[in-house]
């Protein structure tokens, strides 16, 4: 596990700056939720942490290492997206083990890691199924399984539940939190859903228009919002 330090990070697409020099620290083992309206820059910031997007200014550190120039695969992070595409022609076990296989990990070791992750996610009985034979929640668990097998220091989630129905979403929130309590992997979780932020976060980072408005525990933000934007955003349903 590792802390993540974001220092005066900027991002511009051509002449248009969309992240305006934001700074925040995520502690080792912490579950931080990055929340804010659509278009405020959440995914862009997460993708910069992952190394999938070039940084226009500032530094990002994971642990004690500045990672600005470190390729995604060497950052020891794993990302779970909203539109997690599982490989349709591969079984659950093959989907989960694929990145390890690409990384040259030995077959028996892949099997061990996949079985370990499957046990954590209660996928043991589904390892031979294909994605088309799974429910939405099961597919989401496989997507998480793919991340877990790599034993990352940091988990990045980008609105992983937004394609699920309301009931399943509530269930999966609890599952992701349980997973975090078990593994204690440093997590940055992006959502535009206030309820998700309030119920899941150790600390919440509230963004608007490419800046951070406030950082605090759910209770701090609820009790002492810094401005009417934070108050309105935290206080009203999605």
> Which residues would be at the binding site for ligand ADP (CB under 6 A)?
13, 18, 36, 38-44
- Site for Mg ion contains 76 (CB under 5 A): no
Distances in Å between the alpha carbon of 113 and those of 35, 72, 137, 151, 183?
32, 21, 21, 9, 14
Name the one range near Mg ion by CB under 5 A: 29-37, 42-50, 69-77, 230-238: 42-50
152 binds, among Mg ion, ligand ADP, none (CB under 5 to 8 A by kind): none
Min dist. Cβ of residue 43 to Mg ion (A)? 3
- Site for Mg ion contains 186 (CB under 5 A): no
CB closer to ligand ADP out of 42 and 173: 42
39 binds, among Mg ion, ligand ADP, none (CB under 5 to 8 A by kind): ligand ADP
Structure tokens at 120: 């954590």
Strand 57-62 vs strand 154-158: parallel, antiparallel, or unpaired?
Answer: unpaired
Q: Is 93 buried (19+), middle (13-18) or exposed (0-12) by CB count in 10 A?
A: buried
Distance CA 77, CA 71 (A): 11
What's the CA dihedral at 79, 34, 21, 70 to 10 degrees?
Answer: -20
Min dist. Cβ of residue 48 to ligand ADP (A)? 10
Strand 57-62 vs strand 4-13: parallel, antiparallel, or unpaired?
Answer: antiparallel
Q: Taken in order 181, 183, 187, 191, is the CA torsion positive or negative?
A: negative
173 binds, among Mg ion, ligand ADP, none (CB under 5 to 8 A by kind): none
Min dist. Cβ of residue 210 to ligand ADP (A)? 7
Which position has the token pair 């597919």? 139
CB closer to ligand ADP out of 126 and 190: 190
What's the CA dihedral at 59, 61, 67, 68 to 10 degrees?
Answer: -10
- Site for Mg ion contains 43 (CB under 5 A): yes
Distance CA 51, CA 134 (A): 31
b/e sequence 30-43, b meaning 16+ C-beta within 10 Å: bbbbbbbeeebbbb
CB closer to ligand ADP out of 34 and 200: 34
Name the one range near Mg ion by CB under 5 A: 4-12, 39-47, 115-123, 161-169: 39-47
CB closer to ligand ADP out of 152 and 210: 210
34 binds, among ligand ADP, Mg ion, none (CB under 5 to 8 A by kind): none
218 binds, among Mg ion, ligand ADP, none (CB under 5 to 8 A by kind): none
18 binds, among Mg ion, ligand ADP, none (CB under 5 to 8 A by kind): ligand ADP
Instruction: Enumerate binding residues for Mg ion (CB under 5 A).
Output: 43
């Amino acid at each position: 596990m590792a802390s993540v330090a974001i220092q005066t990070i900027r991002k511009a697409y051509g002449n248009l700056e969309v992240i305006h020099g934001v700074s925040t620290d995520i502690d080792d083992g912490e579950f931080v939720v990055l929340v804010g309206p659509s278009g405020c820059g959440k995914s862009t910031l997460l993708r910069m942490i992952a190394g999938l997007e070039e940084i226009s200014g500032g530094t990002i550190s994971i642990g004690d290492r500045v990672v600005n120039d470190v390729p995604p695969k060497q950052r020891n992070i794993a990302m779970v997206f909203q539109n997690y595409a599982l490989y349709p022609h591969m079984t659950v076990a093959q989907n989960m083990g694929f990145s390890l296989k690409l990384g040259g990990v030995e077959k028996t070791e892949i099997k061990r890691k996949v079985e370990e992750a499957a046990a954590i996610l209660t996928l043991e009985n589904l390892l031979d199924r294909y994605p088309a034979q799974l429910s939405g929640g099961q597919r989401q668990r496989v997507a998480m399984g793919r991340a877990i097998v790599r034993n990352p220091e940091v988990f990045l989630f980008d609105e992983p539940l937004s394609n699920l129905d309301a009931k399943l979403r509530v269930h999966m929130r609890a599952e992701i939190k349980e997973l975090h309590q078990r593994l204690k992997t440093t997590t940055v979780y992006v959502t535009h859903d206030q309820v998700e932020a309030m119920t899941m976060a150790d600390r919440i980072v509230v963004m608007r228009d490419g800046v951070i408005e406030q950082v605090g525990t759910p209770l701090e933000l609820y009790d002492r919002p810094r401005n009417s934007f934070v108050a309105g955003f935290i206080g009203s349903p999605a």
